[in-house]
A and B are shown apart, each in its own frame.
Chain A
């Protein structure tokens, strides 16, 4: 049996090795595969972020799209007013964090379905607000971000790949820190039985709000980086409900509650999606739906669940 400390150390070593390997990809891949890889890393950030509130705390949040879109527009509008790119990204993350903290006050009092619906609707409301502020955000006509001058196509692809990788590494580090630390313990207690946790002295409000804020900050920065990467955003794109749903499916696929689950889930899911896009022209979303149905019915603890069962089966 691994003690908590050894488990933490083992996970950290694995994470460092994995990320170091991924960092080598730009040396072998062309720009198209780099684009795909950057997308995988971005979804990994979203999945890892969702894991804080959805996986660890057990609150099914559909607010990921809200934080993503908010971050994208915060970054975009800041740069429109001349703020430098890195600073704009930081501001986006900060805004997302503050927004989540404030939102949490209202939403985290609800449980289960109510929380899910409310968080889903927040993205819709935000989208319409941004859509109407035409003078600030361009509204339905979209927002342009400046092209990065003086950088070749290959260099830009490398740059955004490594940036997303760095963000994913940060999210991973935060996951490890929380999972093996006191906040993680509090969250697991809340997930099992919130009233009991409360009675045991866990400050449920502070704990939940921290998880919610963590689920927002990396997502918000990812949104801002995305905006700089694609140079043009419009409300239906960045507030798309699929940004809320896909990370959840990825975490379920990889195995909720496992540290590397979100990462594995993101890779497998997007790999499948790429194959489906190339092969099944008309029915791709149907195939996606089928995958989700099969996943929920037959593999509810995800791929990590299979691994765990194998491990159990092989021990005497």
Chain B
């Protein structure tokens, strides 16, 4: 029974992880850019949901719809105005650039929102779901369901729409895609916009469950890293698998090794994956 509860806890958490990482993985896979801003985007989205709920009474589920276009525009702008200048530069420069941008955003949020933790408390609360000895909070379940839904939507967009196919083409072979008439720069900007969008919509989901503060950005970024490596870069199904696996691994690691080691175990897993299977658990097939 204990194991079942731990497993379910892990899966619920994992669904959230998948949503957190999907956009990040896409940007990394397609643009070969590690977007350090990703964690801060999530936090910004969470604050948007918190203010929307507190001041305007808009439920976080609805905030998702409001937040999406705003973050897409933000991401598109950042890529086309700033990142595109160094897109051909060595990995180190792009990484340092997004790091610098993140410092600016993070500081701006600290100055605007202060470091105190906020908690979005739903009124009335969504309650608990009890089946026998197993207890699951409904708000987490709802967040997980939405997270997986959004990730699925992303996958459908990538595999069905024209823009989506262009993105995948650029991922597979930039030169060939260009020869086929794909506007690579615009595709890059759209992809980054989508990455920002996914981070932004993860925000309200996060806000329902965890306390919000500009300081938590790096924590979400760290999760995104591990999920990416587990699932394979640029692959949305990979992000789903990676997210669920990470959630379960962290849950059981906390059980078997103690809560202070849970994060360490996930990082050790990351290193092991990088050494032995860098293409991820589901390998290259994932991003078709």
The answer to whether any beta carbons of A and B sit under 8 Å apart in the complex is: yes
Q: Which residues of A contact B (CB under 8 A)?
A: 54, 58, 60, 106-107, 109-110, 112-114, 116-118, 121-122, 124-125, 128-129, 131-132, 245, 248-249, 252, 282-286, 288-293, 295-297, 300
Q: Among B100, B101, B229, B263, which residue has the most Cβ atoms of chain A within 10 A?
A: B100
Task: Give residues of chain B (241-280) contacting chain A, Cβ–Cβ below 8 Å.
Answer: 260-261, 263-264, 267-268, 270-271, 274-275, 278
Contacts A113-B28, A118-B271, A296-B86 given; does A245 touch B99 at CB 8 Å: yes
B85 at the interface (CB under 8 A from A): yes
B279 to chain A, nearest CB (A): 10
Assess whether B82 is in contact with A297, with CB atoms less than 8 Å apart. Answer: yes
Assess whether A106 is in contact with B103, with CB atoms less than 8 Å apart. Answer: no
Assess whether A132 is in contact with B275, with CB atoms less than 8 Å apart. Answer: no
A209 to chain B, nearest CB (A): 15
Q: Name B's interface SS.
A: helix
Chain A residues, Cβ within 8 Å of B183 = none
B145 at the interface (CB under 8 A from A): no
B111 at the interface (CB under 8 A from A): yes
B257 to chain A, nearest CB (A): 9
14 further A-B pairs in the complex, CB-CB below 8 A; given A118-B275, A289-B104: A58-B90, A107-B275, A113-B91, A117-B270, A125-B268, A286-B108, A289-B99, A289-B102, A289-B107, A290-B104, A296-B96, A297-B86, A297-B97, A300-B93
Assess whether B104 is in contact with A132, with CB atoms less than 8 Å apart. Answer: no
Residue of A nearest to B111 (CB): A282
Interface residue total, chain B, C-beta cutoff 8 A: 39
A291 to chain B, nearest CB (A): 7
Chain B residues, Cβ within 8 Å of A282 = 111
Chain A residues, Cβ within 8 Å of B9 = none
Assess whether A289 is in contact with B274, with CB atoms less than 8 Å apart. Answer: no
A32 to chain B, nearest CB (A): 26
Q: Which residues of B contact A (CB under 8 A)?
A: 28, 32, 34, 82, 85-86, 89-93, 95-97, 99-108, 111, 222, 225, 229, 260-261, 263-264, 267-268, 270-271, 274-275, 278
Contacts A124-B267, A289-B101, A289-B102 given; does A116 touch B111 at CB 8 Å: no
Complex Cα distance A122/B274, Å? Answer: 12
- Report the 6 A-B pairs with minimum CB-CB distance, sorted nearest first: A289-B103, A292-B100, A286-B107, A289-B104, A128-B264, A293-B100
Assess whether B274 is in contact with A293, with CB atoms less than 8 Å apart. Answer: no
Complex Cα distance A107/B104, Å? Answer: 31
Chain A residues, Cβ within 8 Å of B82 = 293, 297
Residue of A nearest to B104 (CB): A289
B32 to chain A, nearest CB (A): 7
Assess whether A286 is in contact with B103, with CB atoms less than 8 Å apart. Answer: yes
Assess whether A125 is in contact with B271, with CB atoms less than 8 Å apart. Answer: yes
B278 to chain A, nearest CB (A): 6
Q: Which of B90, B225, B263, B271 is within 8 Å of A122, CB to CB?
A: B271
Residue of B nearest to A113 (CB): B91
A82 to chain B, nearest CB (A): 29
A125 to chain B, nearest CB (A): 5
Q: Name A's interface SS.
A: helix
A235 to chain B, nearest CB (A): 11
Assess whether B271 is in contact with A128, with CB atoms less than 8 Å apart. Answer: no
Contacts A60-B91, A106-B275, A289-B103 given; does A129 touch B264 at CB 8 Å: yes
Assess whether A290 is in contact with B100, with CB atoms less than 8 Å apart. Answer: yes
Chain A residues, Cβ within 8 Å of B260 = 128, 131-132
Chain B residues, Cβ within 8 Å of A121 = 225, 267, 270-271
Residue of A nearest to B33 (CB): A113
Chain B residues, Cβ within 8 Å of A117 = 34, 225, 229, 270, 274
Chain B residues, Cβ within 8 Å of A106 = 271, 275
B276 to chain A, nearest CB (A): 9
Assess whether B92 is in contact with A110, with CB atoms less than 8 Å apart. Answer: no
Chain A residues, Cβ within 8 Å of B274 = 110, 114, 117-118
Chain B residues, Cβ within 8 Å of A300 = 86, 89, 93
Chain A residues, Cβ within 8 Å of B107 = 283-286, 289
Chain B residues, Cβ within 8 Å of A249 = 96
Q: Which of A54, A284, A288 is within 8 Å of B92, CB to CB?
A: A54
Chain B residues, Cβ within 8 Å of A114 = 274, 278
Contacts A252-B96, A292-B100, A296-B93 given; does A110 touch B86 at CB 8 Å: no
Residue of B nearest to A252 (CB): B96
A305 to chain B, nearest CB (A): 13
Residue of B nearest to A121 (CB): B267
Assess whether A292 is in contact with B225, with CB atoms less than 8 Å apart. Answer: no
Q: Which of A54, A116, A285, A291 is within 8 Å of B106, CB to CB?
A: A285
